[in-house]
Chains A and B, each alone.
Chain A
Amino acid sequence: MTPAVEVTNLNKRFGSVHAVNDVSFTVTENKIYGLLGRNGAGKTTLMQLLTGQDFATSGSIEVFGASPVENAAVLQRLCFIKESQRYPDNFKPRHVFATAPWFFSHWDADFAERLVDEFRLPVNRPIKKLSRGQLSAVGVIVGLASRAPLTFFDEPYLGLDAVARQIFYDRLLEDYAEHPRTVILSTHLIDEVSDLLEHVLVIDEGRIIIDEDAEELRASATTVSGLRPVVDEFVHGREVLHRAGIGGLTSVTVRGLSVSEREAAASKSLELAPVSLQQLIVRRTGSTEKEFEQSA
C-alpha cells in the first residue's frame, strides 16, 4: 500500500532560520495523526510544504506517491484548513459552501448543512463580519464536509467555544468512522484531542522528535515520587525526562516501567503516577528542570 505521505530528509530554510530540519517520516493511510508542537516549532511550514504551497529547500515529499507541487492529481485529493484562511472580500459563508464542490469531489452538501445548523453559523453574513469563532467554524465545516482523502487541520478551532469544539471532535470521529480517510490535526490543545489520535508526530525546533503510536506513547512514561535517595536509587541508569523536587522529596519522570519494576517501586513506598500525553510532550519539548532546593 502506498503511504499517504512519505517525507525524506526534508529541509526548509528562511534565511538563517532552519524551519524544517532534515525531517523524514511516513503517514499511513486512513489514520488520524496529531501534528503537535510548540508555537513556531515548524508545524505550519511543514503542512505548507506537504500541500505544495511552498517549496522545500531540499529533500523529497511524496503525497499519494507523487510530488504535490503543481500536481493537480495530488492536490485535488487534499484539503488544507488553515488557521487564518482568507476569502474574497464580498464572500459570505454560503458562497464558500457553494464553491466547495468545485474543489472537492467528495463534497457532501447535506453534511455541510447539518454542520452549519450545529455550529449556528450565519451563512448570509459577510465573512469579514464573522467573529473569530464563526470564521473557524467555516473552516471546520469545509474540512469535514469535503471528505478529502488527506485533510489537514491547522489549529482549526481558534475562538471556537467548548461546545463547538466538542461538536467538531464528535463529527470528525463519526464521519471518519463511516468514511475512513487520513487526517492530520495540528494543535497545541493536546489534552483535548489526545484520545482522537491514532498516531502522534511531535515537531520541535524544526525536527521530528516523536513519531509514535498514540497508545504506545501514552504508556511510555511514568512519574516516580518519594524520598530523594530512594527515588534516585530507583531511577539510576534510566532515561530521565523530567525532574522536580522540593526538600527531601523528589519526583522524576522516566521512560516505561515493566510490571515487576512497578511492584519493586511499590514495595519501596514510591508513588507511581501516569503521565498524560500532554505532560509527556511538554516534558520532551521543554528543557526546564525545576528544583526547589533548600539551601542548607
Chain B
Amino acid sequence: MDEGRPIFVQIAEQIENDIIGGALAEESQVPSTNEFAAFYRINPATAGKGVNLLVDDGILYKKRGIGMFVAAGSRDRLVQKRRDEFQAEFVQPLLAEAEKLSISPDQLAAMITGATTITQKDRT
C-alpha cells in the first residue's frame, strides 16, 4: 500500500482496476473482506470500508449470505469515470507543464502522436 493516501480508497481503486482490466467479470463474486485484508495485509475494517465505497457507488452489490458481486454495467461506468478523472489528473497537469516549458498545443500534439507511433512500433 502506498503511504499517505487512505488505504480504503486504494482498495476500492484496486477492485475497480480489476473490473476494468477484466480480472473481475461482471456478475462474478469478489473476494471477501477478510480475504482482501489478508492479501493486502491490512485491517479487515479498512478493507470493508473500501468494499462499501463500491457498494455505495453501485459497482458491487451484496447477495445476502453469499457475498459480494460485480454489478452489471459496472465496467462501462468505471471506464467513463476514469476518463473524466484522466482529464483532471493527467491532461490538465500536462498542459500546465507544457505551458511552463513554452510547448505550444501543436507541438504537444506532435509529441503525443510521435510517442504513440513509437509505442505502436514496440508492440509489433
Contacts and interface: CB of A to CB of B under 8 A. Distances in A.
Contacts of A31: 45
Given A218-B6, A274-B4, A174 B42 contact: no
B31 interface: no
B46 to A, nearest CB: 6
Interface stretch (A14-22, A127-135, A195-203, A234-242): A195-203
Interface residues of A, number: 26
A108 B8 CA distance: 32
Interface string A14-53: 0000000000000000011000000000000000000000
B43 A173 contact: yes
A161 B5 CA distance: 28
Interface string A192-223: 00011110000000000000001100110000
A195 B41 contact: yes
B5 A177 contact: no
Contacts of A273: 4
B1 interface: yes
A178 B46 CA distance: 16
B38 A170 contact: yes
A177 B43 CA distance: 9
A87 interface: no
B8 A215 contact: yes
A197 B5 CA distance: 15
A177 B4 contact: no
A274 B5 contact: yes
Contact of B7 (A32, A173, A195): A195
A219 B45 CA distance: 17
B43 A219 contact: no
A39 B81 CA distance: 47
A177 B34 contact: yes
Interface string B1-25: 1111111100000000000000000
A255 to B, nearest CB: 14
Contacts of B100: 269
Interface of A is mostly: helix
A253 to B, nearest CB: 11
Q: Identify the interface centre among A176, A195, A198, A219: most chain B CB within 10 Å of its CB.
A: A195
A173 B37 contact: yes
Nearest to A30: B45
Contacts of B40: 195
A289 B40 CA distance: 35
A260 to B, nearest CB: 13
Contact of B44 (A169, A173, A267): A173
A230 to B, nearest CB: 15
A173 B44 CA distance: 8
B57 to A, nearest CB: 18
Nearest to B97: A269
B3 A276 contact: yes
A198 B49 CA distance: 11
Contact of A173 (B2, B38, B93): B38
Contacts of B93: 266
Contact of B4 (A170, A174, A275): A275
Given A177-B44, A215-B6, 14 more contacts: A170-B38, A173-B37, A173-B44, A176-B44, A177-B34, A178-B34, A195-B42, A195-B43, A196-B41, A196-B42, A197-B43, A198-B45, A218-B4, A267-B96
The 3 closest A-B pairs by CB, nearest first: A274-B4, A276-B3, A177-B34
13 contacts: A170-B38, A173-B43, A174-B34, A176-B44, A195-B1, A195-B42, A196-B41, A198-B45, A215-B49, A218-B5, A274-B2, A274-B4, A276-B4
